[in-house]
Structures are given as C-alpha cells and as structure tokens.
C-alpha cells in the first residue's frame, strides 16, 4: 500500500505562508509524482484554496479540511460545510482529532455523525483516535480504541470494505504524544496499530484501510515508525510547518 504522509497545520499559517510552503513542496517533488508515497495537507480553512491551487494537477499532492459542520447549509454561525471545503479544493477532511475531542468537547457520537456526513457528501475522511495517558496507564488502550471506532461503525451500519475503499483512513494518535515531544516507542506504535487493524477487521471486514500514526513525529523518528508493520503513513503536526522538515519526513 502507498504510504500517506499528512501534514496537519492546526491554527498556523496565513495564505501567503501557506502558498510559499506549497511552492517549496512542488519544487522539491518530481512532477510525475512520488513513487509509493503521497502527501496530504490540512491547512487552516482560510488557506485551503491557496494550497489547492498551487498543488493543482500534481499526482502526489492533495488537500483537506481540518473541520466542518455536518449540515448542508443553514444558520450555523462560524461553521463551514463540506460543500464549501470541496469548493475550496479539499478532497479530505479530518474528524475526531484529539484537540477537537478534548478542547472543543466533541463526543464520539458527534464525531461519528461527522464521519458519515462527510463520506455521504463525497469527501474522504481521516478519523483520528487515541487514548489519553490516564487511559493508557489504566490499561484501557483497546477499550478506548474500540469505543472510538465502534461509535463510527455502529452509527453507520453499512460501512464496509467496499464502501470505504480509497475514502477512509484512520490516524492513531495517542493523546499524550501530541505536541508534547513524547513520541510513542516503536513497540508501543506497533502494538496499538495491531489493535486498530484487528478492530477494523471486525468492524468493517477490511484489512486495507490505511492506518497512520501521529504524535510528535519528527524527521529523526519518522523512518523507524513509517516502516513498521501496519503503519501506512504519518500524520504530522509541529514538524510539518517547516517545509524542509516535512520533506525529510516524506522521504524518511
């Protein structure tokens, strides 16, 4: 399976900064595309169109939205719709990122609703899941991942391998490793990814849904993680902001 290298910029970068980052990427990557790898960037909503325009037509580069509201249109002040994201050039969207779960208070049921809404309305979805330090220390890794994935698959009823092919990815991001500099060791990543893989097989009957790792990925540790069994790519926050650092991760 192709490795997917995703950059989550969170609330960073103006349009100009985003465009300049996107140009660095275009200059560094072969115009015919990368072999065995693809790059996906989640800019802030205001910069999606600028990045999509620079990336346009490049076979290895795509753009996604970090967030949206699960409704077609209406009186939802401050929110952005799937159609608006698509109109700006997004092909993907994130759902269930730990910052949205823990800072914005998004519960499993809302995350599930968002995943289904985006899939039904033609966007690809990267669902983020992961345990807090407290949950890990209490031995609840499998329980938490099962609950977070189960919320999506039980709400869907009919999400199976065929309907998800090429349209759905999971990012395992232990909350204690996000933005903390504390990276999970390769044994911890391998163990958690095996759990996610097993759960996906039982929920969707599918073994080839890409499962990415995220949480303090840096150029120095990207290679060791991305080549592990059951790791199909990386979701990178802080270390994706500088194009040179992200390019090192892309080629790790």
Q: State the catalytic residues.
A: 97, 173
For residue 176, what is the DSSP state? G
250: buried, middle or exposed (CB in 10 Å: 19+, 13-18, 0-12)?
Answer: buried
- Closest CB to ligand PGA: residue number: 237
Binding footprint of ligand PGA, residue count (CB under 6 A): 13
Nearer to ligand PGA, 89 or 238 (CB): 238
Of the candidates 157, 173, 165, 235, which has an alpha carbon nearest to the alpha carbon of residue 207?
165
Measured from the CB atom, the residue of 102 and 227 that comes closer to ligand PGA is 102
Nearest CA among 176, 114, 169, 174 for reference residue 144: 174
CA distance 88 to 63: 9
**Shortest approach of ligand PGA to residue 50 CB, angstroms?**
21
For the bound state, the minimum distance from the C-beta of residue 239 to ligand PGA, rounded and expressed in Å, comes to 6
Instruction: Tell me: does residue 237 bind ligand PGA (CB under 6 A).
Output: yes
CB 6 within 8 A of CB 42: yes
CA distance 84 to 75: 15
- Rounded to an integer, what is the distance from CA 110 to the centroid of its chain? 17
Please spell the DSSP secondary structure of 79-147, one letter per residue: ---HHHHHHHT--EEEES-HHHHHTS---HHHHHHHHHHHHHTT-EEEEEE---HHHHHTT-HHHHHHH
CB 177 within 8 A of CB 215: yes
Is 118 a binder of ligand PGA (CB under 6 A)?
no
Q: Which tokens is 113 given? A: 């609703």
Contact status, residue 96 vs residue 106, Cβ threshold 8 Å: yes
| 217 is a site residue for ligand PGA (CB under 6 A) | yes
In the complex, the smallest distance separating the C-beta of residue 57 from ligand PGA, rounded to whole angstroms, is: 27
Exactly one of 61, 126, 195, 235 binds ligand PGA (CB under 6 A); that residue is 235
Of the candidate spans 51-59, 115-123, 142-150, 215-223, the one that interacts with ligand PGA by CB under 6 A turns out to be 215-223
Instruction: Tell which one of 22, 54, 175, 178 touches ligand PGA (CB under 6 A).
Output: 178
Stretch that binds ligand PGA, among 52-60, 84-92, 159-167, 213-221 (CB under 6 A): 213-221
Give me the least distance between CB of 148 and ligand PGA, in Å please: 15
Min separation Cβ 248 and ligand PGA, Å: 14
The one among 66, 67, 216, 230 contacting ligand PGA by CB under 6 A? 216
Interface with ligand PGA (CB under 6 A): 8, 173, 178-179, 214-217, 235-239
């Amino acid at each position: 399976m192709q490795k997917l290298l995703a950059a989550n910029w969170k609330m960073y970068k103006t349009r100009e900064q985003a465009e300049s980052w996107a140009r660095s990427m275009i200059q560094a990557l072969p115009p015919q595309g990368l072999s065995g790898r693809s790059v996906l960037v989640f800019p802030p909503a205001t910069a999606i169109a600028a990045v999509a325009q620079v990336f346009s037509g490049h076979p290895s580069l795509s753009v996604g939205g970090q967030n949206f509201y699960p409704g077609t249109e209406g009186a939802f002040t401050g929110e952005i719709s799937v159609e608006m994201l698509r109109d700006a050039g997004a092909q993907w969207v994130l759902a269930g990122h730990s910052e949205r779960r823990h800072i914005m208070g998004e519960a499993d049921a809302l995350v599930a609703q968002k995943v289904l809404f985006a899939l039904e309305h033609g966007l690809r979805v990267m669902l983020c899941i992961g345990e807090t330090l407290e949950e890990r220390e209490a031995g609840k890794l499998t329980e938490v991942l099962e609950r977070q994935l189960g919320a999506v698959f039980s709400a869907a009823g009919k999400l199976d391998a065929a309907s998800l092919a090429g349209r759905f990815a999971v990012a395992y991001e232990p909350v204690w490793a996000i933005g903390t500099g504390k990276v999970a060791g390769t044994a911890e990543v391998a163990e958690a990814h095996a759990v996610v893989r097993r759960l996906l097989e039982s929920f969707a009957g599918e073994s080839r849904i890409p499962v990415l790792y995220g949480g303090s990925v840096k150029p120095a540790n990207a290679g060791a993680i991305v080549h592990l069994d059951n790791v199909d790519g990386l979701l990178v926050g802080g270390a994706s902001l500088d194009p040179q650092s992200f390019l090192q991760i892309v080629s790790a």
